[in-house]
Structure 1
Amino acid sequence: MIYLLFSILSSTAIFVLFKLFDRYRINTLQAIVTNYITAFILGLSLSTKKFNLSEIWNAKWFLGAILLGFLFISIFNIMAIVSQRNGVSVASVATKMSVVIPVIFGIYLYGESTGLQKLLGIVLALVAVVLVSLKPKSHIRIKNNLLFPFLVFLGSGIIDTSIKYLETFYVEDNGIPLFSATIFGCAAIIGVSLLLLFKKLNGSFKLNKLSLLSGSILGVVNYASIYYLLKALDHESLESSTIFTVNNVAIVMLSGIVGLLLFKERLSLKNWLGIGMAILSILLVTLA
């Protein structure tokens, strides 16, 4: 359970950092790229297994790691936008309600049981994402206000499902640090490419030292969130459905509290209803 606790705290800290990036006008893209470089180096440092580049290239999980790297940096950028425009609680709910996706995936892949209660929970989850995304007196158009949280919801669900699948069938014992590092390394390469493309198209590029420092902190926190989640999923005494549920509910609640206390975010009645439905839907899916 200690691994799960660390994953919850780390994931919540990510949303807080995104909010601080906006407050202190930190270059988000530079920080995110630095974050993945830091996470990559950290993962290699923590790996106790000897390896070489050919071993990584020939690993069964390598193509999956490339896909996850692309999803990581894409969803991370969108998550930053949601945190800054819609609020910490909105970003956390949109991300963590994605638990319904690995649940649906598990029904078909692992033959898990389903029923009216579980289907009701999935439907409530989708409604909850919409309700919690609607902010009062927002200057953002509704279609954009819903689009970004939905993309975070969909992308996060695919990431969770893929991580569990690769960890179960392809990642060897003691291979979690190297697997994690490879994902972050792929994300870093894609991010650097985006920065170079931006420089070429925009004609100007100025490196921000504060963004580098902030990105390094984010990298440590981000790596911890994935590493400890994988360690919790690798624990034989805990079922994946229990892990994802407890992890997601705790992050939603903790992020909401942080948003209220630290950033004075106001939640409308619809937002509170959405958060309540989010928690209820996860409970329904789990207890089913």
Structure 2
Amino acid sequence: MIHLLLSILFSTGLFVIFKYFGIFKVDVLKAIFVNYIVAFTMGFAFAENSFSIVEIPNKPWFLGAVFLGALFVSIFFVMAMTAQRNGVSVTSVAGKMSVVIPVFFGIFLYNESVTVLKFVGIIIALVAVYLASVKEEKSENKKAGLLFPILLFLGSGVIDTTLKYVEVMYVPENEVSIFSGSLFGIAAFFGLIILLIKSIKKREPFGVKNIIAGIVLGIPNYFSIVFLIKALQTKGFESSTLFTINNVGIVVVSTIVGILLFKEQFSTKNKIGVALAIVGIVIVALA
């Protein structure tokens, strides 16, 4: 349970850091690239056992790491496009509601338990995520399509589902850091390609500010993934339960941090969502 709690706290830290990115006008793409380099380095530095880099392509989880690394970068861009075209609230809801995908696969692929109490808890949690995430904002683009929100919903869900599948099938407990480091290294590679393409169109200095921001982001990003994988490896802890508690927990903690740290305003709908989220977490945990 401690691993899940730490994953929620570090994941919430990412939202806080992204908030400051906007305040300090950080180039997000450059910071994301540096963040992947930092997380990649930490993964190899904290490796549970000795290894050779040339062995990594032969690891059974390598192709899964390549797929996830590419998805990490792709979903980042989809998230940015969704926020620009459909608004922040739609982005938040689409990302968090994607929890239904790993929950569905957890139940049907791994034969996880389905009780009335658990079902009710998951439904309450989903309603809570929507109510807590949606903001009273006016979209500048009234005709914004559903393509990017749908891609964000599917992509976020596929990331969680694939992470669970690769962890169950191929990642031993003593290779979590190596797997995580490789995953981030591959994401950094794809990020570098995108940066090089952008630099051809428009050359500009990288900026010390973006490097510092990337380092600050990379540390909690690494630990959020490592602790999530370790939580998934906890015996007797079903993924459908874990992903529900994880996503809803992030929404609750992020909401509290937003109120206390950034003095954000929350509607009655948001407050009801947070209250329901706590109820949902308790029910799912008890189930």
Identify if the C-alpha distance between structure 1 residues 191 and 89 changes in structure 2 by more than 3 Å, giving closer, same or farther. same
Moved more, 150-159 or 14-23: 150-159
Post-superposition CA distance 1:85-116 (Å, at most 9, x none): 99998766544433221111123212335477
Which residue is 2:194 aligned to? 194
Amino acid corresponding to residue 171 of structure 1 in structure 2:
V
Which residue is 2:30 aligned to? 30
Which residue is 1:75 aligned to? 75
CA distance in 1 between partners of 2:129 and 2:168 (Å): 29
Post-superposition CA distance 1:121-166 (Å, at most 9, x none): 6666666666556533434335649765554433222111111111
CA distance in 2 between partners of 1:247 and 1:131 (Å): 17
Which residue is 1:255 aligned to? 254
Structure 2 runs not aligned, ≥5 long? none
Which residue is 1:179 aligned to? 179
Asked if structure 2 preserves the Cα contact closer than 8 Å seen for 1:103 and 1:241, the reply is yes
Moved more, 94-103 or 18-27: 94-103
Q: Percent identity?
A: 51
How many pairs were matched up? 287
RMSD value, Cα: 3.3
Post-superposition CA distance 1:214-251 (Å, at most 9, x none): 11111111000001111122222533333323322221
Identify if the C-alpha distance between structure 1 residues 19 and 140 changes in structure 2 by more than 3 Å, giving closer, same or farther. farther
**1:265 CA displacement:** 2.2
Asked if structure 2 preserves the Cα contact closer than 8 Å seen for 1:33 and 1:191, the reply is yes
Q: TM-score, normalised by structure 1?
A: 0.83
Query: SS of 2:74's equivalent?
Result: helix
Which residue is 1:231 aligned to? 230
Identify if the C-alpha distance between structure 1 residues 112 and 238 changes in structure 2 by more than 3 Å, giving closer, same or farther. closer
Q: How does 1:98-113 map to 2 (within 5 A)?
A: 98-113=98-113
Amino acid corresponding to residue 140 of structure 1 in structure 2:
E
**1:55 CA displacement:** 2.0
Q: TM-score, normalised by structure 2?
A: 0.83
CA distance in 2 between partners of 1:203 and 1:73 (Å): 20
**1:287 CA displacement:** 6.3
Identify if the C-alpha distance between structure 1 residues 232 and 271 changes in structure 2 by more than 3 Å, giving closer, same or farther. same
